[in-house]
Amino acid sequence: MDKRLLLSQIEKNIHDCKKCILWEGTTNPVPGEGNPDSEVVFIGEGPGFNEDKQGRPFVGQAGKLLDKLLISIGISREEVFITNVIKHRPPENRDPLPSEILACKYWLDQQMEIIKPKVVVTLGRYSMARYMQNVKISEVHGNPIKIKSLVVIPMYHPAAALRRRSVLDSIEKDFQRNKEILKNPSSVFNIEGLKNEDEDPNQMSFF
């Protein structure tokens, strides 16, 4: 079946979702948006004030920075798919609870199953934790890792980059460094030195 159709069905279901209490007091859910045929998916944390108002991911200040970072490597946001771990805005932008992340995983799993990206960029700790545990973002950011047939690139959250100059420098470098993979995901299978997650994750070395 058509990916767009399947994703729009999930969107409808997210609109009715009451798997956790986050829907209470929100204006709109934010399922995600972009090109369902993209080989690259960006996963953030959860909607903030502006995203909740518009029902679209990354449309506030952090989103403007994400747009700039994408443009810096010649990609427009329409070319990729952008979503979040959490689909409803947590009150006062608090961190999502483990139970909320678990409840919402149901939707993200389905989105990923439909889109089947080759590359996932995780933005911040919460989406990174979907793929790798017991690692520090300060140590692994910008380093692609292969998890079965998927390449995951952990990156800092753009909102963190807006707060600290050093993080902004890092995220800008990380985008440049991964430009080839992000522009041409099929090239990832030819990249030597990409570490495999089957190795002991506690001993995981990145290049």
Residues that bind ligand URA (CB under 6 A): 30, 44-48, 51, 57-58, 60, 62-63, 84, 159
Give me the helices (H) in the chain, please: 3-15, 49-54, 61-72, 98-115, 125-131, 137-140, 158-163, 165-177, 179-183
**How far apart, in whole angstroms, are the C-alpha atoms of residue 169 and residue 173?**
6
Judged by CB, which is closer to ligand URA: 43, or 188? 43
Which residue in 49, 44, 10, 43 sits closest to 28, CA to CA? 49
| Residue whose C-beta lies closest to ligand URA | 44
> Minimal distance in Å, beta carbon 8 to ligand URA?
19
Which tokens go with 148? 């079965």
Q: Is 66 helix (H, G, I), strand (E, B) or coil?
A: helix
Judged by CB, which is closer to ligand URA: 45, or 100? 45
> Minimal distance in Å, beta carbon 84 to ligand URA?
5
Judged by CB, which is closer to ligand URA: 60, or 154? 60
> Minimal distance in Å, beta carbon 30 to ligand URA?
6
Judged by CB, which is closer to ligand URA: 46, or 142? 46
Beta bridge mates, 33:
82
> Minimal distance in Å, beta carbon 50 to ligand URA?
8
